[in-house]
Structure 1
Amino acid sequence: MAERMASARRPAVLAGLLGLAALLLFLRGLALQLPPDRWWPALTAPAATDIRQMLVHYGFLPRFAMSLVCGAALGLSGALFQQVLRNPLAEPGTLGVFAGAKLALGAALLWAPWLLAFGPEPVALAGGGLALALVLSLAWKRGLPPFAVVLGGLVVTHYLGALNAAIALFHHAALSDLFVWQAGSLSQTGWRPTVQLVVCAALAALAVLALLRPLALADLEDDGARNVGAPVALTRLAAIAMAVVLAAMVASAAGIIAFIGLAGPAIARRAGARRLRDRLLWAPLLSAALLALADQAVQMLDPGREVSVGALTALFGAPLLLWLIATARPAGAPPRADGVSAFIARPAPWIVLLVVLLGLAVVAALSLGRTPDGWSWTGPAGWPAILPWRGPRVAAALAAGAMLATAGVILQRLTGNAMASPEILGVSAGAALGLVVVIWGFGAFGQAPLLAGASTGAAATLTAVLALSRRSAYAVEPMLLAGLALAAILNALVTVLLSSGDPRATLLLGWMAGSTYAITAWDALIAWLVAGAMAIVVPLTARWLAILPLGPAVGQALGVARSPSRPVLLLLAAVLTAAATLTVGPLSFIGLMAPHLVRLIGFQRPGPQLAAAALSGGLVMVAADWLGRNIAFPWQIPAGLMASMLGGAYFIWLMRRR
């Protein structure tokens, strides 16, 4: 009994501490703007002749209120998603709601501005709802299992993000206001948006109260809930609608605020809120306190410049979530293989076919292209003239695709997790963080220091993710959470750097898009040297890669658990990811797509699977580079973005078929 009462008090204590910290920072900020004897007049009836009172009344106070309301709405939205989908990873960001809202608003600004006649809210709501519908449709046939929903959400978010980035490349000036919005800003010039959001959140909260009992029964199996009279389908649909409305309203009012909808419910659950009633109470309160604290810290750290609060929430929330993962109780063994039964007994003909296809793709990429006079084909006789221009980028794209695919195979077999990849586990983000440290900390731009920094960042990130997931036996959810947290830290850091006005940030943004436009022959040679060295070393680990997916017991019996297998494989995956990230940026999808593709074909043994994945990854990246060079000629779409769009479309099609 005493333990239960203590467990019930922990969320209240934590919310109180966070709220108190936010309140103290708020009062300190208020004291810096006005003496205490003018606080009440500034709140109730600001003097028109006192500019400081006007700024406090119409700017500082509504901003604090907006942070509380936005945080509470996102926390309630995340708690609803997690309850209905029975998935602790569900929240507006991981389910594609924010990505859909951002894409819909960008498209409306460019091609249908009349849709914004009634404000951005309907457009954001429609975009977020359609994106969520797509995510749910990908897993509907299998009964919305958590693993499939998370995978679908990540794929749709990644795909819509790539589409958004591609649109932004061609319409940067027209979408400048959207860039400010999507970074997440709570700045206010009056009380009207805050009041509107308060009314919307209050109505949604009342609707949730009416759904409380049916939602609580959602913890039962569907048949059990129906037996006690719960309208399962209608309850889920209504709760999802409320969650989407809350997220879309916040996005339209304050932009994309990352992590709050995930961190609040996760903290509440970890702090002891076991019952649905408790989670629906404490998740909004914790999220409100967390967002208010982050926003006040932003204003206190740099009062003279507007820094995206959406970026800072990731910097605040991600380490907290990493701590929750590290201290969570083990939840059982992870799902191992993804149920693929196809098996190729003789892989050699398939390998030869992939080699032929890759050769044809390289020839086409070198010979076929668009010019001001239209399409042209350059035969071998003309290659000496075009090789200095097309050769390095094609060679670098091939090497990068092969390295990412190889790293994906290593990670999936090392963890026994079919969702493991450099992109999803945050390893690419770690490599990018290493580059940021080298460039900003040491001012180095050479290939050697950049490769060393990226490799160190990738290795440190991968080691951290695996260490955090070890208690759960490398289960899917902790690994995904850790990868999402680390990727959020990278995105937050990049956003802060871009807002600084430093010219190096523009170079970083172009590199993150995965452009091969500026690849030189030396860059391509470095990529091929690393790829060639890995092609010699990685096959020597085939026995480890065959035994590790069978579990620690089998590995212990066969002596693999006591060997240096994990450190060596970690190092290989880190170097492969770092070298590829230097070439095509952290956005590619190849590390997830290529291993899945060859496993579906039937490559199950590690040796053939490594070879087939490397060839497939190189083929896709060469095709992505060629399409990006020609599809919108004379403008170019970066190969990394093109690969993300190709990979995302492939995965959406694949998940709808299964």
Structure 2
Amino acid sequence: MKRLAWIFPVVVTVVAAALFLHEASLRLPIGMWGNALASPTSMDELILVYGTFPRAAVALVAGAALGLSGALLQQLLRNPIADPSTLGISAGAQLAIVVATLFFPEFLDGNRTFVALFGAGAAAAIVFTLAARRAFEPVTMVVSGLLVGVTAAAFSAALTLAQGEYLMSLVTWNGGSLSQQDWSVFQSLSVEFAIAAILSALLLRPLLLLGLGDAGARALGVNLVGIRFAVAAVATALAGFVAAGVGLVSFVGLAAPALVRGMGIRRPAMVVAMSPVAGALLLFLCDGLVQLIASSAGETFPTGAVTALIGGPLLLWLLPRVRTTDLHEKPALMVRPLPFRRGLPLFLLAGMAIIILALAVARNGENWIMLDLNQIADLAPLRWPRLLAASAAGGLLALTGAILQRMTGNAMASPEVIGVSGGAGLGFAAALTFWPLGGALTQLAGAGAGALVVMALVLAFASRRHLPADKLLLAGIAIGSLSSSVLAALMAIGDQRSWQILAWLGGSASTATAGTAMLLAAIAVVGLMVSLFFTRWLAVLPLGAPVARSLGVSVPVSRIVLLLICGIATGAASLLVGPLSFVGLIAPHIALRAGFVRSGDHMTASFLLGAVVMAFADFGARTATFPYELPLGLFAALVGAPYLIWLVARGER
């Protein structure tokens, strides 16, 4: 068996080398390479020496760096699904470089590595701080990292969308392009990787002693805090170096150690030593496939977008192998039940305040002004459709979040987190690809179908594997990561779909018309009314499948019906808001904390609260940076992300 296992790396090496030789020989016959290397003169020789060869070299060293980073993180955290992508480190570096490119371009020139290291370090610090409250428990660690990464990626997309002059260059860089014009990136990455490899070798023995447990390692003289900080710093720096050099290359650090273990290597020292080799071969192979597709089909994809496609399936495969640490659970949240009729006046007052803000308040560039009745009447036809559409979208997402949290028994479930919004994005992209002239209804149908399919896949996978609620959350995030990878690859093509997908990622209510707003509002009202027919199901399902069956509830039927509601609601709302707003997460939590604990009251209160939050987000997105408009999903995330981080820090998941 071990002999057969070693066939795989040999085949990968041969295929990757063959792809490289094929691509390079298309540029210049192999027999002429010697003259080209000695003194390149023609255009083909220059491209070969300063483009093709450096690209292959960068792929090897970047893959090695990511492989080593992933192996260090997995050994440090004793977690097989830890890597710079799943812990949000690469996304933090990406966000820092996007911000520097857009707002501090002079500083970025010559300080790109420093900026990437700052972003990667900040993301790592947030994730490690969140997970420290639960002793770096593996599921908590990865949930924190993936959510921080998703948030950072959403901010990057929204900022990119807001700066059209940088659009396609940032989209390509965000996808992880390995194209080179000289040997400078390879030289810098090689030096950085060599230094990190030497430091890793020095830290390897105390790192392996951590596997004995804190008490055993401390008894052998290991400085636990110092070693953990040093190893995390080396792994984070490696991810930052790669991000600064070639952009965002995802999941190589996850795949490389998994491939090494798949070959039968179990000794931790050998896994760390061989992971850079596996990472180098994997990225080299992926880049060869990208170039083969480009030369035969005429479409160019950044290599990082292609490597990201392996992340979702690989996470799902590794998920059952993640250990779960038994920790002291927090007691259930105790609140005094509040009848909905007592909370209704508060929702009415909040709704009236939002309507007044949206219709009667404006900015003239410097100051806030109150419009008179004539001005309100003149602007109302432009403002009420987007206000109604935003409210309806917020209500639908919050309703979906309440249903998902009750159906799965997971307080962190929401359309954004459990992969439903990512599925809506895939459906939206499919509608644009196969029915480009279909219009809004076709896009709505595609988004709804995508959301429904992804939600069904997540629940089917979780049911078959008997995954607990925490790992169900990871399964949803894994499928969401795969969806984001497909969208990134489509955006990198650079055609009209890129603009439409990028606009959807940011979310905007500016395109809402009276017709689309009324349609979305009708869907929202009908969705709420239909959901209220199933209050008994949602009151029983959190008690578990055996209890639900004993009370006469058909678990498969109830899940299918509720899935239909969630899929349609998320698909309709995501067309306006985009994939990330966190309204579907925060509104049900706030409603529950306010005392709306009965299933019907919880859904209704969540719906109204989500409508209010998203309507306010539309007002803020329209006025905060006037005359420029922020993406609606971004502004909503500015409210939701801090609340999400607070929930994870408190261990309420």
Please tell me whether the aligned partners of residues 161 and 503 of structure 2 are also in contact (alpha carbons under 8 angstroms). Answer: no
| Counterparts of 2:220 and 2:344, CA distance in 1 | 56
How big is the shift at 1:179?
4.2
Point out the more displaced range, 603-612 or 128-137: 603-612
Instruction: Report the equivalent of 1:450.
Output: 443
Instruction: Report the equivalent of 2:15.
Output: 21
- Alignment CA distance shift 1:396-1:115 (3 Å): same
Aligned residue for 1:143, secondary structure, equals coil
Please tell me whether the aligned partners of residues 329 and 472 of structure 1 are also in contact (alpha carbons under 8 angstroms). Answer: no
Q: Percent identity?
A: 40
Instruction: Report the equivalent of 1:368.
Output: 361
Point out the more displaced range, 209-218 or 114-123: 114-123
How big is the shift at 1:602?
4.4
| Counterparts of 1:192 and 1:629, CA distance in 2 | 43
- Alignment CA distance shift 1:41-1:338 (3 Å): farther
Please tell me whether the aligned partners of residues 258 and 313 of structure 1 are also in contact (alpha carbons under 8 angstroms). Answer: yes
TM-score, normalised via structure 2 length? 0.91
Instruction: Report the equivalent of 1:3.
Output: none
Instruction: Report the equivalent of 1:129.
Output: 121
Match of 2:254 among 262, 265, 271: 262
Match of 1:345 among 337, 340, 351: 337
Cα RMSD over matched residues? Answer: 3.0
Q: Which string of whole-angstrom CA distances, capped at 9 and with x for unpartnered residues, describes residues 160-191 of structure 1?
A: 33443444345442676544432211112233
How big is the shift at 1:461?
1.1
Instruction: Report the equivalent of 1:635.
Output: 628
- Alignment CA distance shift 1:16-1:598 (3 Å): farther
Please tell me whether the aligned partners of residues 335 and 417 of structure 1 are also in contact (alpha carbons under 8 angstroms). Answer: no
Instruction: Report the equivalent of 1:75.
Output: 67
Point out the more displaced range, 168-177 or 287-296: 168-177
| Counterparts of 1:363 and 1:433, CA distance in 2 | 37
| Counterparts of 2:584 and 2:189, CA distance in 1 | 41
Please tell me whether the aligned partners of residues 338 and 596 of structure 2 are also in contact (alpha carbons under 8 angstroms). Answer: no
| Counterparts of 1:220 and 1:558, CA distance in 2 | 47
Instruction: Report the equivalent of 2:399.
Output: 406
Aligned residue for 1:307, secondary structure, equals coil
Please tell me whether the aligned partners of residues 624 and 639 of structure 1 are also in contact (alpha carbons under 8 angstroms). Answer: yes
Please tell me whether the aligned partners of residues 263 and 321 of structure 1 are also in contact (alpha carbons under 8 angstroms). Answer: no
Q: Which amino acid is the alignment partner of residue 632 of structure 2? A: A
Instruction: Report the equivalent of 2:557.
Output: 564
Q: How many residues align?
A: 648
Aligned residue for 1:369, secondary structure, equals strand
TM-score, normalised via structure 1 length? 0.90
Instruction: Report the equivalent of 2:32.
Output: 38
Q: Which string of whole-angstrom CA distances, capped at 9 and with x for unpartnered residues, describes residues 241-268 of structure 1?
A: 0101100110111111122222333444
| Counterparts of 1:305 and 1:451, CA distance in 2 | 27
Aligned residue for 2:347, secondary structure, equals helix
Equivalences for 1:385-534 in 2 at 5 Å? 385-475=378-468, 478-534=471-527
Q: Which amino acid is the alignment partner of residue 16 of structure 1? A: V
| Counterparts of 1:126 and 1:626, CA distance in 2 | 33
Instruction: Report the equivalent of 2:160.
Output: 168
| Counterparts of 2:500 and 2:407, CA distance in 1 | 34
| Counterparts of 2:338 and 2:118, CA distance in 1 | 49
Please tell me whether the aligned partners of residues 333 and 472 of structure 1 are also in contact (alpha carbons under 8 angstroms). Answer: no
- Alignment CA distance shift 1:594-1:33 (3 Å): same
Equivalences for 1:567-606 in 2 at 5 Å? 567-606=560-599
Please tell me whether the aligned partners of residues 332 and 472 of structure 1 are also in contact (alpha carbons under 8 angstroms). Answer: no
Q: Which amino acid is the alignment partner of residue 394 of structure 2? A: G
Q: Which string of whole-angstrom CA distances, capped at 9 and with x for unpartnered residues, describes residues 470-507 of structure 1?
A: 34323356545543443344333333333434224323
Q: Which string of whole-angstrom CA distances, capped at 9 and with x for unpartnered residues, describes residues 508-559 of structure 1?
A: 3223211101100111111111111111111222222222223333233333
Q: Which amino acid is the alignment partner of residue 425 of structure 2? A: A
- Alignment CA distance shift 1:13-1:418 (3 Å): farther
- Alignment CA distance shift 1:334-1:212 (3 Å): closer
Please tell me whether the aligned partners of residues 402 and 603 of structure 2 are also in contact (alpha carbons under 8 angstroms). Answer: yes
How big is the shift at 1:574?
0.5
Aligned residue for 1:432, secondary structure, equals helix
Aligned residue for 2:39, secondary structure, equals coil
- Alignment CA distance shift 1:66-1:626 (3 Å): same
| Counterparts of 2:34 and 2:589, CA distance in 1 | 62
| Unmatched 5+ stretches in structure 2 | none
| Counterparts of 1:79 and 1:639, CA distance in 2 | 38
Please tell me whether the aligned partners of residues 81 and 322 of structure 2 are also in contact (alpha carbons under 8 angstroms). Answer: no
| Counterparts of 2:234 and 2:71, CA distance in 1 | 11
Aligned residue for 1:194, secondary structure, equals helix
How big is the shift at 1:127?
1.9
Equivalences for 1:59-74 in 2 at 5 Å? 59-74=51-66
Aligned residue for 2:165, secondary structure, equals coil
Aligned residue for 2:534, secondary structure, equals helix
| Counterparts of 2:637 and 2:526, CA distance in 1 | 27
Point out the more displaced range, 199-208 or 512-521: 199-208
Please tell me whether the aligned partners of residues 171 and 491 of structure 2 are also in contact (alpha carbons under 8 angstroms). Answer: no
Instruction: Report the equivalent of 1:542.
Output: 535
| Counterparts of 1:110 and 1:482, CA distance in 2 | 34
How big is the shift at 1:609?
1.9
| Counterparts of 2:444 and 2:584, CA distance in 1 | 19
Please tell me whether the aligned partners of residues 438 and 444 of structure 1 are also in contact (alpha carbons under 8 angstroms). Answer: no
How big is the shift at 1:364?
2.1
How big is the shift at 1:132?
1.4
| Counterparts of 1:339 and 1:398, CA distance in 2 | 34
Q: Which string of whole-angstrom CA distances, capped at 9 and with x for unpartnered residues, describes residues 167-216 of structure 1?
A: 43454426765444322111122333213212322222222222223222
How big is the shift at 1:605?
3.4
| Counterparts of 2:82 and 2:303, CA distance in 1 | 22
How big is the shift at 1:352?
3.9
| Counterparts of 2:325 and 2:121, CA distance in 1 | 34
Equivalences for 1:327-338 in 2 at 5 Å? 328=320
Match of 2:226 among 223, 234, 241: 234
| Counterparts of 1:477 and 1:38, CA distance in 2 | 58
| Unmatched 5+ stretches in structure 1 | 1-5
Match of 2:306 among 306, 312, 327: 312
Q: Which amino acid is the alignment partner of residue 235 of structure 2? A: A
Match of 1:288 among 268, 280, 289: 280
| Counterparts of 1:606 and 1:267, CA distance in 2 | 46
| Counterparts of 1:448 and 1:190, CA distance in 2 | 48
| Counterparts of 2:446 and 2:328, CA distance in 1 | 32
| Counterparts of 2:628 and 2:190, CA distance in 1 | 45
| Counterparts of 2:329 and 2:387, CA distance in 1 | 34
